[in-house]
Structures are given as C-alpha cells and as structure tokens.
Chain A
Amino acid sequence: MISGSNLEQVLISGRFAVTGELGPPQNGNFDVVRDKARILKGHVDAVNITDCQTAIVRMSSLTAGLIALAEGVEPVMQMTCRDRNRIGIQSDILGASALGIKNLLCLTGDHQKFGNHPQSKGVFDMDSIQLLDMVKTMRDGKKFQCGDEIKSHEPRFFLGAAANPFADPFEYRPLRVAKKVKAGASFIQTQIIYNVEKFARFMDIVRDLGLHEKVYILAGVTPPKSVGMARYMKKFVPGLDVTDEVIDRLKGAKDPKEEGINICVDIIKQVREIAGVAGVHIMAIEWEQAVPEIVSLAGLSPRPAPRRVDPRLRSSEAIDLIVSKAKEEAKAEIEKTLEQAKAEAQASRDLVLKEKGKITSEVSNLKRQLEEANAIADRKEAEIGRLMKELKETRDGRVHVRSVRRSVSDDADSALSSCSSRALTSLRSGLEALRKGLGINEDQLEALKRLFEVELLLSSDTAEQVTATFDEAPVPVERREKPEADSRHKEVVNLVAKGNVLLHKNDAAGAVDAFERALAIEPEDQKAGEGLKKAKEALEYTVSLEEAEAPAVPEGIPPCPEGMSPEEWQRKWVIRLVAIGNVQLYKGDVDKALKSFKLALELKPDDEKAKAGLLKAESGEAAGVPVPAEPDAPQKAEVPSSPVPKIAKVPEEVKTEAKREVPVTTVPTVIEGLTVFELPKETGTLSEREGSIQENLFKESCTGAIREISLGEGERAIRLGGASTLPFHLFEGDMPHVPQIAFGILDSEPEDWPDVLSKYYSDVFSDPVAWAKKCIDHYGAKAICLSLVSTDPNGMNRPSSEAAKKAQAVIEGIDVPVVLWGCGNAEKDTETLREVTGLIGNRKVCIGPLSDANYRSLGATAMAFHLPVVASSPIDVNLAKQLNILLENLGLSLDQILMDPSIGAIGYGIEYSYSVMERIRLAALTQQDEKLQVPFICNLGREVWKTKECRLPSDAHMGDQEHRGVLMEAITASTLLLAGGELMVMMHPKAVALTEALIKGMV
C-alpha cells in the first residue's frame, strides 16, 4: 500500500476500476463542484479533478478536489507543469497531502496557447516525467527536489500519469509509459479511445515491455454527445483518433445521446477484453449525468463501497447543518422585519386617509367658490351684453362692435376673463363720465369709443387682427378726468400694449408717445418704462418709411409727471423733440422740424443731436434728402409687398382689399433703355427638338451629384445645389434648385461706389438694417450678403464687437437668409464672426470666407453652431478641394459648405474663374470627386463695380454708364451661372432683375 487510497485498494484488489472526471467551474461556485461530485458518488472509485484543462482558468484542482472529498468522493488531483515552478508545485503537494488527498496525476499540461490566456508565460520548469520523479522522491526519499530533507509528514501519493496511444511516433509511446513508470507512476490513464484496434496494438507493446505488471492501465473513454462533438474532437483535438465508424453510428442514430452512451459502453466492453487493462477512466465532459448509466450498462455496477475516504475538512452534512441553522435565524430576522414594515405601512395608510379627507373638504370648498365666481361671471356677461347693445346704438353700426362681439361670443363658453369684463364696465362708466363732464361732441365720443374698444381687444389675444389706427382723436392726458384707480391701471396697461404694438409695427414715435402717456398716468409702471426706453432706441435707429402724418410739434414742455424729477422729464422731452424733428425732417416738413429742434435747444441748449438736426434742417438738406431715386419709385408699387405688415391708415377691410390688388409678378419694371425681358421658354424636350438624332449621341449623363445646402430658416429659407447635371443641362439630369441671387450690402458707407449704383442705396447707407430691408422690400431680395468691410484692419478697422452688433441688428431685423462676409483678413474675420455667432443665438447665418488661414477656428465655430460656411480658396481646383478636405477632417459636413472659388469680373480674369469652376464641376459630376460636390457661391458684385469700366462716365464712345455697369454685372453673373454657380452675390437691382429673368427663362 502506497497511499491507501480507495483507487489504490480497488486496483490492488484486482477489480476492474472505474474513475470519472470532474471539471471545476470557471468561477468560485462551490455548488457546481458539489453537485457534480454527488452525481458521480457511488458510481466511480475515484474522480479526476482537472488542473485548468486546456489552459483555461478554473477553480484550482486542489480546492475542487477538497470539495469532492468532503462529499465522500475520492479525488485524483491533477497537477500540471505549465503554471507553477518546482517551488509552487511542491508547496501545493504538501497542502494536498495535509488535507487528505491521496491520488496525484502528473501531467505536463496543455500549452497555454490553447487557453484563454495565450499571452502568458508558460513555466515548464520540468516535464511530467520529471514531476513524477520529484513527487516520488518526496514520498520515498523524503526529500525535496533540491535534496533537502522532509523531516516528517512527507506527502504520500498514489501517483498516476497519462499516455496517448494515438500520438506519434507510435512506437515511442509504450517506451514513454515505461519511462513514466520508472519515474514513479503507479497507474496510467490513457487518452480517449475510439480506435480500439490501435489501442490494442499499443497494449501489445506495453505487454511486451512487461509494463502491465508494473502499472495499472485505465483506458480512457468518452461518450460522444453528438455528431458535432465527435467531428470537433476528430478535427481539432491533437492526438485524438475518432473513427469514421463512431461518426457514422451517431449520424444514423435516432437519439444521438443514447447512441453516444451505447458507443461508450461498447468500447468499455471491448477494452475490458484486452489483457493488461485494469480499469476505465470515463471522461463525460460536462455530462456527468451519463456516468451512472454507462457504468451500469457496462456491467460495472455496483462499485465496491469506498473505504478510507475520510475528509480532513468538514463534511457537507455538517455544512448543511450550519447552513440550515443560519437559514432559520435569517428567517426569524426577516419575519421580524416584515412585521415591523407591515405596522409602518398601516400607519402611513391611516395618515393618507386622513389627508385625503382633508383634501376632499378643501376641494369641495374650492368648488363652491368656483361656482360663486361663475355666477358672478354670468352676471357680468349679461351686463356686457347690455353694454354691447348700447354701444351698437350709439354708433352708426359699423365695424368694431362686430369684432368685439365676435370675440365675446368666441369666449362665451369659457366666460369672459374678469379682466375684460372689468375693462368693459370701466369703459362704460368712463364714457358716461366723459360725456357728462366734458360735453364733448359726437365725433369725439365716437372716436374715443373706438379707441377703447380696440385697446381692449389689443390687450386680449385677438390683437393681431386689429390694424385700425390709434392716432385718431388722441386724447390729451391733461384733459382727462381722473378715473377711478382700477380703470386708471387698465388705461396704463392698454397704453403699454398699444405702445408695444406700435413699436412692433416700427412706429417708434407713436410708441414713444403711448409709453409716455402711460408713464404720465402711472410713472412707476415698469413695463411702460422699459417700453419707452426701447421705443426711444428704435426711434433713434429707424427712420419711419411710411407716410404717416407727422406728430404735431408739442408746444412747450408738458407738466412733469409724478415720480420723475423735473430734470429727468426735461431730458426725456428733449429726446422726444429731437426724434420728432428728425421724423419731420425726413418727411420733408422742414418748418416743423426746425420748430422741434429749436424747442429742444431752448430746453437744452447744448444738445448735440438737436444742434445737428437744426443744422440739417436749416441747410435745407431735407429737400435734398433723396426722395429715393426715380427708378424705384414706380417700381415700388409693383414689387410684391413685403411680408412685414406696415402701419396702414386704412381700416382692416380696406387694407385687405388693397393687398389683393397688389400684382403678384416678380419681374421688375422696364428700365429705360434696357428691356428686362422674359426669355421664351423651350416648349419641347431636347430629344423632341433634335428629332432624328439619337439621344445617346448628345446625352451624357453624370454619375455624381452636387450636395444640397440650406440657407436661412423658416419659410424664407432657400435651398441650393442638388444638381446631377451640368448647369441648365436639364435634358441630361436634374437641377432641383434654381440658382439664387443675394443682394450684397455693406456694414458701412461704401467709399468708392459709382453714382449709378449708390443712388439706389444712398438713403440707407448709414443703416445696414434699413439697407437690407430696402433690398428685400423694394427689390425683392431673396437673400442678403452683408460684407463686414468696416472691420478691415487696413481700412476703418472697426472693432469686432461693434461690427458684430451691427451685423446682429441686420440678422435679427430681416427674415431672409443672410451670408456674413468678413473683410478678408483671416484673423479679424475669425474674431468678428465668432463675436456675431455669440450674439445671434440660434439664427442660422452663413459665415465666410473660411480660408486655409482660419478654417480651423471658424470651422470649429460653424460646427458648434451648425452654421453653413463659405470655403474660400484662390482660383485653384486642388486648393478648393484641399480646403474642403481640411474642413471635413475637422468634422464639418460637406453639406455645410459653399465653395467660393474666387472669381473675377468680366474682362478681369473671368475666363480663369470659369475654367476652374468648370473643372471642379466636371470632377464633381463625372469623376465622382466627392470632395468637390459642393455648391458654389460667387461674390461678383463687388468685383464688377470696382472695375474701371463701371466708373468711366457716360460718353459717346462708352455709352451710358449705368447700362454699362448693369450689363457688366449681369453678364458676369450669367457666365458664372453657366460655369455652375449656385448663389450669386450682386448689387445693382437692375442687374439682378436681368439675371433673374435669365434664370427663369432657362429652367
């Protein structure tokens, strides 16, 4: 007896031994090992516990072996040389011995390459034979490998080894078994046997060498679970010989699992017949359940009762006992907690009920109140009805009652807001008081009523429909009777509302008036104060474009309202006087203007603005103020009315009619000497017209398409690009969006524009907002390109922050798409455009030009705000493409880019521009050059109008200067359109009209 293990005893007794295999889990789950051990218990004499088989990390064989041992299953601990050196191995062996493990299978181990840590360093301090030798020396020689003595308790193991009869070289395999026996192996477990015939030959040699008498040989078997598993083993497990017969049997089987068990049993029966086979080693990999059946079918059960399997560690029964005790304790604990929780829950339920009761009574209380309020509202409604009737009678039955009634009836279901009903009550009493107190005549009363009605409506939500004037019969504040406090407040609210509406409609002067009236009544009113401030600002910036009657010049200074110091009041009054003066001046009423300015100067002799105004008025400049140039005066009527509603002096119905009368044509008027024509459109397709010529002879379809880009937002957004053909080659492909024209404007007065151009805009040179609006309202601009020329460090060098504010005003003042064009100085543009993007919030303006010098910083800005950009490069295909690539690398989408190829005017290198644009477009459309499939923007107006030809005066030789310039601009534009341009930036309204007519005729 070596170790006295159960396996050793069975083998010595001469019984056919049966061992099983237990693979520890890839986790720390105790139960997995225990459950597997329980399945095998009683059916095998010992169980191999694998040591990280196939080099996959698993629970250690020592630990899992101990768990099995605690279940009363005798382990055969496997030990490989792959993971530990001689120090680690000997240490583990001592531990295993101490805890009662008695069988040790010594292996070299699978190479780490096969496992889940192929990067690891394989130890292989020794091989399996050297390991056997070492452990045997520890046992029999009582020495560590180094030779040191093991003074007591030397590890005593029944040693085993593996053999693979199917590996090469075949003749060597029995010799290797002999070597292992010599090194200390007492039993051998073989590789899985399917090829019994070859195993028999192996055994012949083993017997020839007399090894069967020195070592117990256990034949390895495995029930194949499926054909797939059998095939896998045949193909991928080195040194495993799965015969075709086995695979065929599995393939033909109804139940492959059952057949697998049968195969295994058959093999066991066959190897049992081979002399020298002392037992079988059943490796049911992850199929431990099959083992009892196999053992039984092979006639190997029952197994002899295991002897001397005595775990040194606590048995599982003991563990179970502890566990059940702990369970009981835990259960009691849980029940206690549960009880407590239940009591708490009950308590909170009670609380909730109590609260609920309280709330219910509150709700019913509120309901009662609501009903009362409703009753009051009903009473008021009745009163309103009566009032309406009265009102109707007092008027000659015109418009406004109707609208009032409509709004009343609209709201009838939900009852009038208490505000409206209160206002109507106060209106009634106020009117009566006025009539009695002032004895005002019928007309004035009528006007007053109308004013109040309208104001009332304005303060409600129906305001947008009301366009009636507020200026009729203004009621001087000082003549008004003191109304009761409530209605006074109402008055203020109405006045503020009116002021805001007026401000919204650009009637700044009227708004100032309204706010000031409101302040006169209620000087503390915050909204009125704010409104006044805004209105005054607006008054300073905007010059009213309408022919509204100029406000009367007030005589003297009105009494200072309460809550305002006399100085402050005077200052405000002066501002107002100056504003009125300016309006008068603009209207051409020099006398009234003079009066205003003089009044202002009397109050504040050093007021700069008043002085300047007076000077202007005196110099008669007003007369020279361009009653804007002739050509656009007649045009104005025919240009479609701007979408921004203007203050009209007509009642609503009339205005609607007037609107209807506006012609819808977009073609501007005939300009003298230059007929803007409509191109006759081609009626048939090209193939129809060509008739006999085959289509494929002239048609050349493109494979690429230009990307689409969106400028601006909302209804007036425009889309560009999308073409899948050369410009206007509509017979070859699609051009979903027609080219567009943006009006180029500047943020400061142009220095060098010829008269024939500047006369159209000189009245708005000082104010880019008005300039932009003029382009839109008078010339039908669909987009605006604002050039920030004032920022040029070589010119005015206006600070970025200032320029940005101006740009912001333009962007926020108009609703067509805006292109912001910097001064061309990369650094300054970066600064300015970044400033603008910070100011305008979510507005989508297109920014540019981005050059190779500033594309990074501006590109990042554009990315952050999702703005389209103009990528500007000096007339070169590769440079244009490179810039697009750089922008794309930065993260910008090509869908955000407009290419500015840098263009020249006609006579100034346009053929170069044309050629480069054409090449870019050809590359984009026919060579799938994706980086160039981007729309063009051509900033041509500025190029044209700085040419010499546009500046030479009219003479017999050169002809009319204006016609010359217009044609230069229009022809430049048409050339660039044919080269592929998608967005033209132009300046002269006539040139734009011509170009638009051309585009219309072509598509």
Chain B
Amino acid sequence: MIIAEQKPLDEIMEMISGVEKLLVLGCRGCVAVCSAGGDKEVGVLASALRLGRKKAGKPIEIDEETYVRQCDPEYLEPLKEDGKKYDAVLSMACGVGVNFIADRCPGVNVLPALNTTFYGANLSSGEWAEMCAGCGACILHLTGGLCPVARCAKSLSNGPCGGSVGGRCEINKDVPCIWHQICDKLTSRKQDQLLREIVPIRDWRPSGHGGPRRRIREDLLP
C-alpha cells in the first residue's frame, strides 16, 4: 500500500496561517491502514491544530470528515460543493487524493497534511518499509522476489557493491543489504546461475522518466 506520514505540525500551521474555517479530510484507504490519515489521525490533527491556533491567539474553526477513498471520483462528489464552505480542505490522503481533489473540485482550496513516502508493507504495528519503487519494469523473477531497485541504495542490478558487510548496507547498519539476501536466496534455491548473468542496463522510461504515466484498459472504458 501507499505509505505516508504526517507533515510536521509547524509546516501545516504555516500552510493554514490565513485559514479561519478548515475541513480536515481523512481517507479510509491506504493512509488509514498505515495510521497516517484515517479517522483517528483526523481527530488528533484537528485537536492539535485547534490547540496550536488557540495558543497563537488565532482560534480556528475545524470540521472533521473522513471519506472512503479520495482517489475515486464517486467518493469525492459531495466535496465539490461542501468543500467551498471552507477556506481550505486539509487532505490527509496520499498525494493522489490531494491531486484528485484539486483536479475534480474546482473552487476548493486543497492542502496536503501528509508526506507521501513510498510503497511499503507493514513490518509490525507501527513500522513500515519500502518494498517497491513502481519502476514499471519488474525484474523480481530474476532476484528471488526481492527488489534491488527499491531496496538497494544504489538500485544496483548486478549484485552487491563493495560496501556490503555482514549483510548490511554501507549507508546504514540498520539497512539490510538486499543483494546479500538475493544472493543467499538464489544460492539456496540453486538459482545462482542468475547471479552470474549480466543484467543489462535498464530502460527507465516505465519508471516515470519517460513522463507522467497512464494506464488504460480498453475493455473497461465507458
């Protein structure tokens, strides 16, 4: 899922400095699951902003709302009109939600409450890690299902660099060397032949370096 985290409060306070009526709008999609923008987080953020503004001597009126998703047009329908009642709508969805509101609800001043960080998995309660870079050209079949594009600091294609020590990445002892894991996995599966083959230089166009990406499935188009 998409992982996001709340922006620092001072940054949000700055963002809404001129706002007197605000809607904090959560999303029950990915950001709710990763505890960044669900109902609970909406409540906490709204409380914090009220307190911060009261302390600054500029009380603010805040409504709280959470949509099922902010990335599907049907859920955004009510916001088209309701959103205009507010000086700003502070979206607690990922960047997709913020963009989609900006696209779909003209006249609504939408602001981001979160930094959208990566595609990741929930390692344990309260801990998430990046697993995919959305590069558009998956090679996981060659790497034992572990992605060197997302999980290697240098996005290497042909094995661990000289900084891999004890299974750890050179940039940080807390980061595992994914290529070490790939080596171990392929060796144990007797697929080590894959390690000897040169993976050719990548085509980065599908990963976004070819411009904004769009997917169309003809059979589903209206």
Give which listed residue, A124, A167, A176, A239, contacts B155 with CB less than 8 A: A124
Q: Is B59 interfacial (CB-CB < 8 Å)?
A: no
List CB contacts (< 8 Å) of B164-203 with chain A.
Answer: 164-167, 170-171, 177, 180, 183-184, 187, 192, 195-196, 198-202
B195: A residues at CB distance < 8 A: 172, 175
Shortest Cβ distance from A174 into chain B, in angstroms? 11
List CB contacts (< 8 Å) of B130-165 with chain A.
Answer: 153-165
Q: Is the CB of B162 within 8 A of A167?
A: yes
A997: B residues at CB distance < 8 A: none
In the bound assembly, the distance between CA atoms of A562 and B71 in angstroms comes to 102
Q: Is the CB of B196 within 8 A of A111?
A: no
In the bound assembly, the distance between CA atoms of A806 and B32 in angstroms comes to 71
List CB contacts (< 8 Å) of A236-253 with chain B.
Answer: 238-239
Q: Is A108 interfacial (CB-CB < 8 Å)?
A: yes
Shortest Cβ distance from B181 into chain A, in angstroms? 10
Q: Is the CB of A238 within 8 A of B170?
A: yes
Q: Is A40 interfacial (CB-CB < 8 Å)?
A: no
List CB contacts (< 8 Å) of A105-138 with chain B.
Answer: 108-111, 113-114, 122, 124-130, 133-134
What string of 1s and 0s marks CB contacts (under 8 Å) between A168-183 and chain B?
1101100110110011
Give which listed residue, B156, B163, B170, B201, contacts A145 with CB less than 8 A: B201
Known: A111-B171, A169-B183, A179-B159. A133 touches B201 (CB 8 A): yes
B159: A residues at CB distance < 8 A: 129, 172, 175-176, 179
Which of B165, B177, B180, B200 has the most chain A CB atoms closer than 10 A to its own CB? B165
Shortest Cβ distance from B2 into chain A, in angstroms? 22
What string of 1s and 0s marks CB contacts (under 8 Å) between A151-186 and chain B?
000000000001110011101100110110011000
Known: A124-B155, A129-B158. A179 touches B196 (CB 8 A): yes
In the bound assembly, the distance between CA atoms of A175 and B183 in angstroms comes to 11
Q: Is A724 interfacial (CB-CB < 8 Å)?
A: no
What string of 1s and 0s marks CB contacts (under 8 Å) between A74-99 and chain B?
00000001100010000000000000
Q: Is B204 interfacial (CB-CB < 8 Å)?
A: yes
Which of B177, B192, B196 has the most chain A CB atoms closer than 10 A to its own CB? B196
Give which listed residue, B154, B157, B167, B202, contacts A122 with CB less than 8 A: B154
B198: A residues at CB distance < 8 A: 129-130, 133, 179, 182-183
Q: For residue A178, which residue of chain B has the nearest CB? A: B196
In the bound assembly, the distance between CA atoms of A249 and B59 in angstroms comes to 70
Which of B162, B164, B196 has the most chain A CB atoms closer than 10 A to its own CB? B162
Q: Is the CB of B180 within 8 A of A130?
A: no
Known: A111-B170, A129-B198, A130-B201. A168 touches B158 (CB 8 A): no
In the bound assembly, the distance between CA atoms of A617 and B23 in angstroms comes to 83
Shortest Cβ distance from B191 into chain A, in angstroms? 13
Shortest Cβ distance from A969 into chain B, in angstroms? 42
Q: Is the CB of B196 within 8 A of A164?
A: no
In the bound assembly, the distance between CA atoms of A339 and B138 in angstroms comes to 79
Q: Is A851 interfacial (CB-CB < 8 Å)?
A: no
Give which listed residue, B153, B180, B187, B200, contacts A168 with CB less than 8 A: B180
In the bound assembly, the distance between CA atoms of A622 and B155 in angstroms comes to 108
Shortest Cβ distance from A208 into chain B, in angstroms? 14
Give which listed residue, B166, B184, B196, contacts A175 with CB less than 8 A: B196
Q: Is the CB of A133 within 8 A of B200?
A: yes
Q: For residue B159, which residue of chain A has the nearest CB? A: A176
Q: Is A50 interfacial (CB-CB < 8 Å)?
A: no
Q: For residue A125, which residue of chain B has the nearest CB? A: B204
B157: A residues at CB distance < 8 A: 126-127, 129-130
In the bound assembly, the distance between CA atoms of A128 and B198 in angstroms comes to 11
A133: B residues at CB distance < 8 A: 198, 200-201
Q: Is A191 interfacial (CB-CB < 8 Å)?
A: yes
Q: Is the CB of B171 within 8 A of A162?
A: no
Q: Is the CB of A167 within 8 A of B164?
A: yes
In the bound assembly, the distance between CA atoms of A179 and B164 in angstroms comes to 17
Q: Is the CB of B154 within 8 A of A111?
A: yes
Which of B156, B157, B201 has the most chain A CB atoms closer than 10 A to its own CB? B201
Give which listed residue, B153, B163, B183, B202, contacts A239 with CB less than 8 A: B163
Which of B153, B154, B180, B183 has the most chain A CB atoms closer than 10 A to its own CB? B154
A168: B residues at CB distance < 8 A: 160, 164-167, 177, 180
Q: For residue B156, which residue of chain A has the nearest CB? A: A127
- The contact size tier of chain A is 35 or more
Give which listed residue, A81, A125, A175, A239, contacts B164 with CB less than 8 A: A239
Known: A125-B204, A238-B170. A167 touches B160 (CB 8 A): yes
Q: Is the CB of A239 within 8 A of B165?
A: yes
Known: A111-B170, A179-B196, A183-B198. A172 touches B160 (CB 8 A): yes
What string of 1s and 0s marks CB contacts (under 8 Å) between A471-489 and chain B?
0000000000000000000
Shortest Cβ distance from B163 into chain A, in angstroms? 4
Shortest Cβ distance from B55 into chain A, in angstroms? 14
Shortest Cβ distance from A97 into chain B, in angstroms? 20
B204: A residues at CB distance < 8 A: 125
Give which listed residue, B171, B183, B201, contacts A172 with CB less than 8 A: B183
A134: B residues at CB distance < 8 A: 201
Shortest Cβ distance from A233 into chain B, in angstroms? 13
Q: Is the CB of A108 within 8 A of B196?
A: no
A108: B residues at CB distance < 8 A: 154, 156, 161
A238: B residues at CB distance < 8 A: 162-165, 170
Q: Is the CB of A167 within 8 A of B171?
A: no
Q: For residue B173, which residue of chain A has the nearest CB? A: A238
Give which listed residue, B153, B160, B164, contacts A113 with CB less than 8 A: B153
Q: Is the CB of B162 within 8 A of A164?
A: yes
In the bound assembly, the distance between CA atoms of A128 and B157 in angstroms comes to 10
Which of A113, A124, A175 has the most chain B CB atoms closer than 10 A to its own CB? A124
In the bound assembly, the distance between CA atoms of A238 and B196 in angstroms comes to 24
What string of 1s and 0s marks CB contacts (under 8 Å) between A399-419 and chain B?
000000000000000000000
Shortest Cβ distance from B50 into chain A, in angstroms? 22
A163: B residues at CB distance < 8 A: 162
Give which listed residue, A110, A126, A171, A182, contacts B202 with CB less than 8 A: A126
A81: B residues at CB distance < 8 A: 154
Shortest Cβ distance from B220 into chain A, in angstroms? 35
In the bound assembly, the distance between CA atoms of A515 and B170 in angstroms comes to 96
A239: B residues at CB distance < 8 A: 162-165, 170
Shortest Cβ distance from B3 into chain A, in angstroms? 21
Shortest Cβ distance from B37 into chain A, in angstroms? 27
Q: For residue A127, which residue of chain B has the nearest CB? A: B156
Shortest Cβ distance from B168 into chain A, in angstroms? 8
Shortest Cβ distance from A426 into chain B, in angstroms? 78
Q: Is the CB of A111 within 8 A of B153?
A: yes
In the bound assembly, the distance between CA atoms of A145 and B202 in angstroms comes to 11
In the bound assembly, the distance between CA atoms of A559 and B132 in angstroms comes to 113
Q: For residue B192, which residue of chain A has the nearest CB? A: A175
B167: A residues at CB distance < 8 A: 168
B165: A residues at CB distance < 8 A: 167-168, 238-239
In the bound assembly, the distance between CA atoms of A298 and B46 in angstroms comes to 73
B163: A residues at CB distance < 8 A: 110-111, 167, 238-239
List CB contacts (< 8 Å) of A252-275 with chain B.
Answer: none
In the bound assembly, the distance between CA atoms of A82 and B177 in angstroms comes to 18
Give which listed residue, B158, B171, B192, contacts A179 with CB less than 8 A: B158
Q: For residue A209, which residue of chain B has the nearest CB? A: B196
Q: Lowest 8 CB-CB distances: which A-B pairs, in order?
A: A164-B162, A238-B170, A129-B158, A130-B201, A238-B163, A127-B156, A126-B201, A167-B162
Q: What are 19 pairs between A and B in contact, CB < 8 Å?
A: A108-B161, A109-B154, A110-B163, A111-B163, A113-B153, A114-B170, A124-B154, A124-B155, A125-B202, A129-B198, A163-B162, A167-B165, A168-B180, A169-B180, A175-B192, A176-B160, A179-B158, A239-B162, A239-B170
Binding site for B on A (CB under 8 A): 81-82, 86, 108-111, 113-114, 122, 124-130, 133-134, 145, 162-164, 167-169, 171-172, 175-176, 178-179, 182-183, 191, 238-239
Given contacts A108-B156, A126-B157, A172-B195, 9 further A-B contacts (CB under 8 A): A82-B154, A113-B171, A124-B154, A127-B158, A130-B199, A145-B201, A162-B162, A168-B177, A175-B159
